Structure 1
Amino acid sequence: MAGNREYTASWLELEAQLGGRLVVHGSAKEQRALFTGLVKSVAAQRPPPNENIQVSEHTVGAIPVRVYRSKDATDELVPIGIFAHGGGFVAGSLDSEDFFCREVVERVQTVIVSVDYRLAPENKAPAQLEDMLQGFQWTHDNATSFNGDANKMYTIGASAGGVLSLSAARQIALGRSTLPSTTIKGIVALVPQAYHPQNVPEKYKSDFLAYHENATNIPMIDKISVDAALEMASVDTNNVDYLVGMDPGSHKLFPPTYIATCEFDPLRDDGKILARALQEAGVSVRSAHYDGLPHCFWFLPMLHETAVFMNHTIDGLKWIISQM
């Protein structure tokens, strides 16, 4: 670790209880097993599902989607978030962040549509982005069937899901989808990647430190994890469709955006630099940063910082909706 950076006491205590440091490495099969195991191991520590949340399963072409809405919904149409799960494009499913989607709908007047996009390495880029756009189109066309407002749609996701939330919004804003270019009214991008580490714009290179500072001995993901995700999905150094920071010309088209970053994360500066770049382009941006914590720490409900993160994220989403 550089300087005198320190993990939070609660994170160090958790690692002591776990008997080691968790980091996602290995083949796609190994990563999926680790990711699934993590989700299952903490499931018992989460509260039981709120019975007031109505969940329905659908299939869009060959893509499973899951719709979350409150049973208390009135006839008034509410904003819709299209959710993309994390997992480095390699792992994750509708179930892996079911807890997150439920809490959002429980605390915000919104509908969440979670898209189970195809995974790498079996499916290379742009398969994941294509699936997200197909999910957007289906949601737009069917919005009123679940009390959603097709005029108030936003993207939301973490890690690889944050990448896809940003990239889908960009594609739509550029008129590269079957939807109107003004469809997306906001973005919630949690610990996203926005730049290829080998192709950071010159003006930001001096600030792009986290990829190297957090290269090794870092929980959750490190440099090896980031490189593997890009390689498995075949996201090369010039792929601006996935790594939106590298296309500054499109930034002025982005809607209000909320970005979260973590100190001990090789993607930390992706989010920080993207927030700055969007602001320079005139976009309304809010952000939250978590010192002493690693990538996607909120997957672990036993951390007291998880509740803090959720409160901040809910407030960020409410701000996004207020801008619509």
Structure 2
Amino acid sequence: MKLGSIGTAMVTPFNEDGKIDYEVTTLLINHLIDNGTNSLIVNGTTGESPTLSEEEKERLLVHTISIVNGRIPVIAGTGSNDTQASIRATKRAELLGADGVMLVVPYYNKPDQNGMYEHFKTIAENTSLPILLYNIPGRSGVNLSAETVIRLSKITNIEAVKEASGDLAQMAAIIEGTDDTFSVYSGDDALTLPLLAIGGEGVISVSSHIAGLEMQRMIADFRNGNTASAATHHQILMPLFHAVFSKPNPVPIKYLLKRAGLPVGDVRLPLVGIAGEDTYLNLTMQTFKQQFDSKRE
């Protein structure tokens, strides 16, 4: 699964009636591809998947695949806390033409490590698609251990993990314990550079909606040995990373996209959007732009 350095967990645009806006989705997809995104993750948490019906998820995936038209990989979020439901969604995504699937650690029912292993193994046995595991203890209530990821990496089509535990030691253990064909991605924008420094592949990002090119510059500088410049980029980006997660995701990023001229609409309940102007987000974005503009000169 060639996700590149930056995979964007894409927001789902809604119109004023709260329905998916496919015209804006087309604009957003092209914007992301033009601004540094190497792969797209559809129907993830950032896309408000808990509030999308199965029909909406399928139609959004089909639309995204059509608009992308082979330019970059499209990964479908098909994981849930129900193994059989995840298998059905994964088979459907494969039929519809997805390039891979992202499977989140089962949430709420809190399986142990063996339960998580069997969950992912069973799904993998029912698809030929490449699989991106997604470990996010803050949402799932359980942590997929390094040992379990290493064990899962021996299954042929389990090819990568999105690590949002925030634990660099755990990420380092996964990198050390898996072979070179297995990739570790950060699930936190702020840990992109630290993860690269210990051998990670890149990031599954939210901030790349508005800072993809700048993040790619940071990654390129690091890989070209210009670590001082990469560190400077990281420092400039950090306030933006924090701002993007200052409220429940994807509330801030949708606000910033609208400010940037992409009318992606509001969020669905139980999330609530930002009413009026948000001084903190506006100032952070303005400062970020000024700092990067001055660095270009």
Q: Same fold (TM over 0.5)?
A: no
Structure with greater helix percent: 2
| TM-score, normalising length: structure 1 | 0.34
| TM-score, normalising length: structure 2 | 0.36
